[in-house]
Amino acid sequence: MSGHELAAPSRARVIAAGAKPLPSWIRQLSLVAAVIGFAIFVFGAVTGNDRAWHAFQVSWLFFATISTAAVMFAAVQRITTARWSRGIVRFMEGQVAFLPVALIALVVLVLFGRGHAYPWWNELGHLKHEKQIYLAHRFFALRSVGVFAALTVVQIWFVWTSVRLDVGVSPEGGASWAARLRAKMRAGFGEERRELHSTHSLQGVLAVVMTLLFGFGWCVLAWDQSMTLDPYFFSTMYGWQVFMGGWVAALMITAVLLRFWKKHLDAGDLITDSHYHDLGKLCFAFTAFWGYLTFSQFLVIWYGNMPEETHFFTLRLTGAWKTLTVACAYLAFAFPFFGLLSVKAKMYSPVMFFFAACSVLGILVARYVEVYPSAYGIMPHAPFGIWEVGVFLGFLGAWGYCYSSFMDGFPKFRVFLLTSPFRDEVQVPVDARTMEPLPAHE
């Protein structure tokens, strides 16, 4: 994205910068939060509290969309053979560590929370025949879990190939829990140039498959885990709005994380102001795109004025839900869109922190408004208390623990693509077997 490129740093410098571990209190605090939060959830689940399950559903949607979107962003960098992001993309790839936890959480939700989380589960016979087929219990469970499992496998595989290059050219180091994984990555690691092109080719395939799985899979997951909570509503734009909300939140969170990593690793030469600006532009652009999707969905339904569609928004603009719905529009769109118009806003950390916080909070409120009104109908007061706070704390702790463990277990920078003398050969595809450039049509 930037029109200029810095000279390649030395490999020793990149390895040294990424070798500094995170403070141990981050992982310890995350673990405590996860234990407390999930203990609250377990108590609610055992006592049959529906709100505990709905809070679980909201948090799952929030963290799962963000984590998968972060890895998807890394895949987009491969598809476009981007060079600007080489110094920062590992900070997004690290979120892949949360996906196995998210997959387990989805299995728990579908298997054990089905009668509590999905209002239609025990009333399937009252729906139209077509919806009875689509929401048939076994088909629903296999579809939701299968789609997310497939996306998780492809994303882990992609990040594995990325990290393997860096482990292969770095001395042994990192958290002890990942020592065996690093050893497996080094096993069979060959000549640097050949490894670059063979990995680049494999990642090209994985990135395209991931893109298809991410787009289609999150449409299915958004329908299953959110839209069908109101089994009489449907919108073809719903899935896009959900996963693009996660995409925007992932970019905003990364914009904040970059500031932390730059200071913690003393890496001002590797994480530059250009990165801040480029990522800030992406935050602004996709905020606009999310707002476009959201408003377009609302506008078409408002203009069509069909009761089977308008009741969804009528409910969310009634009673306690109206304040939250309007707040979501301001937090997730209006504030960051107008606030990030200037270059200085994208570069000045306190301002970027504020608008990133607004955006992420707005997306969290959006997840809440997608789930709770469908489950509880018109309410004088929005349900919010120990279940919502406790379960969110559990997911936040699990996400923080997984992310920090990954970042301490593996190189924090893309050492290979930052320092290899062959790094820019990937701009021209090469047959990894013969090392000869491929014809343009291939």
Q: What pLDDT was estimated at residue 427?
A: 75
Q: What pLDDT was estimated at residue 422?
A: 86
428 domain residue, yes or no = no
6 domain residue, yes or no = no
Q: What pLDDT was estimated at residue 365?
A: 97
Domains in the chain, number: 1
Are the beta carbons of 376 and 383 closer than 8 angstroms?
A: yes
CA 253 to chain centre: 10
Angle of the 307-316 helix axis to the 320-329 helix axis, nearest 10: 90
Angle of the 137-168 helix axis to the 99-112 helix axis, nearest 10: 170
C-alpha span between 269 and 336 (Å, rounded):
28
152 domain residue, yes or no = yes
Q: What pLDDT was estimated at residue 4?
A: 45
CA 300 to chain centre: 28
What are phi and psi for residue 437, nearest 5 degrees? -55, 140
Are the beta carbons of 344 and 392 closer than 8 angstroms?
A: no
Q: How many CA atoms lie within 13 A of 410 on its CB side?
A: 31
261 domain residue, yes or no = yes
| Domain with 148 in it | 23-422
Query: Which residues are CB-neighbours of 267 under 8 A, at least 6 positions away?
Result: 17, 261, 413
C-alpha span between 415 and 377 (Å, rounded):
52
Q: What pLDDT was estimated at residue 440?
A: 56
Structure tokens at 213: 């799985």
Q: What is the DSSP letter of 20?
A: P
> Which pTM value belongs to this model?
0.94
Q: What pLDDT was estimated at residue 126?
A: 85
107 domain residue, yes or no = yes
Per-residue pLDDT of the chain (442 residues), as tens digits, is 444 455 678 999 999 999 999 999 999 999 999 999 999 999 999 998 999 999 999 999 999 999 999 999 999 999 999 999 999 999 999 999 999 999 999 999 999 999 899 999 988 888 888 889 999 999 999 999 999 999 999 999 999 999 999 999 999 999 999 999 999 999 989 889 889 989 998 999 999 999 999 999 999 999 999 999 999 898 889 999 999 999 999 999 999 999 999 999 999 999 999 999 999 999 999 999 999 999 999 999 999 999 888 999 999 999 899 999 999 999 999 999 999 999 999 999 999 999 999 999 999 999 999 999 999 999 889 999 999 999 999 999 999 999 999 999 999 999 999 999 988 887 777 776 777 777 654 4
193 domain residue, yes or no = yes
Paired residues of 437 in beta bridges: 430
Q: Is 377 left (phi over 0), alpha (psi -120 to 50) or beta?
A: left
Alpha-carbon Rg for the chain, nearest whole angstrom, is 22
